[in-house]
Structure 1
Amino acid sequence: MNPAGESDGASMTLFEAVGGEPTFRRLVAEFYVGVASDPLLRPMYPEEDLGPAADRMTLFLMQYWGGPNTYSAQRGHPRLRMRHAPFRIGAAERDAWLRNMRRAVDQLDLEPQIASTLWDYLERAAYFMVNAEDDPAEPA
């Protein structure tokens, strides 16, 4: 896979390679099962129902990996850091997000190269979203 999510030599996007929308819906649904019971992440989602947040994430990931541009058509440019700015995201929140996402990715049982490409992006994105330093007075 190249950085654009296309298979090297085959012009198939990662979106197509994983099976399209159903796979991304499964990934995000599984991720939000974890978020719903995560004491660190759940308070970041003000909606009583996590459905709207899950829909936004699904549309974003599908578009990022070569699927339809529904996310941008509905919400404009992703502006991920700006949209997450109201929330304190430190190392603990990042790690909780990654823990839940790792479990979700593993549930998909993807080919290793595809899973690695997807995970590399998700991990970079999680580190990019950190917007708060850990308080050195608090134990790690």
Structure 2
Amino acid sequence: MTGRAETLAEAVGGTEALRRLSNTFYDGVLADPVLAPVFANFSRTHIEHVALWLAEVFGGATRFTDEVGGHQALLRSHLGLSITEEQRLRWMELMTTAVEKELPDDALLRQRVMEYFDWGTKIARDVSADPVGTDLGDPGPTPRWGWNGLA
């Protein structure tokens, strides 16, 4: 794609921009009656983990895999949460608001980011139905999402 950053991570402004996005998003989540119960055990460390995850998924450094445990750790963190479709859709609404506030005003960039979130939240919802301790098998490496979607 001529004239665009090579990766979505670069295009959004790197890990620092993803931290801002996560902060804005979770400020909304924690005040939201539909989503706050899902995040009852929320800690500010979560924001850093989300920023590292997104940076890696969007083509940046592999810090989430190296420091937090990669794809397996992310999936495990959703076990037992019993996320409903209503909660997933509300999550998407709040993330859309955060993306519009924190990410560059680039329609294709925002579209690709939101396509990732739609894809990822469906997986999180599905995994969340399994109880803590479920053997997830090997989910493979951290997915990569780029200008053309899942790489």
TM-score by length of 2: 0.73
- Measure how far apart 1:63 and its partner are: 0.9
SS at match of 2:71: coil
RMSD, matched Cα: 2.1
- Which of 90-99 and 49-58 deviates more? 49-58
SS at match of 1:110: coil
Counterpart of 1:125 in structure 2 is: 120
Q: Which among 25, 49, 58 is matched to residue 56 of structure 1?
A: 49
Q: Which among 77, 82, 93 is matched to residue 76 of structure 2?
A: 82
Unaligned runs of at least 5 residues, structure 1: 1-6, 133-140
- Measure how far apart 1:43 and its partner are: 2.1
Matched, 1:69 2:62: yes
Equivalent-residue separation in structure 1 for 2:109 and 2:78 (angstroms) = 27
Unaligned runs of at least 5 residues, structure 2: 130-151
- Tell me if structure 1 keeps the 8 A contact 2:4–2:11: no
Counterpart of 2:12 in structure 1 is: 18
- Tell me if structure 1 keeps the 8 A contact 2:30–2:36: yes
SS at match of 2:70: coil
Q: Which among 15, 21, 38 is matched to residue 32 of structure 2?
A: 38
- Tell me if structure 2 keeps the 8 A contact 1:32–1:50: no
- Measure how far apart 1:91 and its partner are: 0.7
Counterpart of 1:93 in structure 2 is: 87
- What do the CA deviations read for 1:9-58 (whole angstroms, capped 9, x no partner)? 867111112221221111111111111101222222244x6311111111
- Which of 66-75 and 56-65 deviates more? 66-75
- Tell me if structure 1 keeps the 8 A contact 2:38–2:83: no
From the superposition, tell whether residues 31 and 116 of structure 1 become closer, same or farther in structure 2 (CA, over 3 Å). Answer: same
Q: For the pair shown, which has the larger CA radius of gyration, 1 or 2? A: 1
TM-score by length of 1: 0.78
Runs of 4+ in 1 over 3 A off after TM superposition: 7-11
SS at match of 1:78: helix
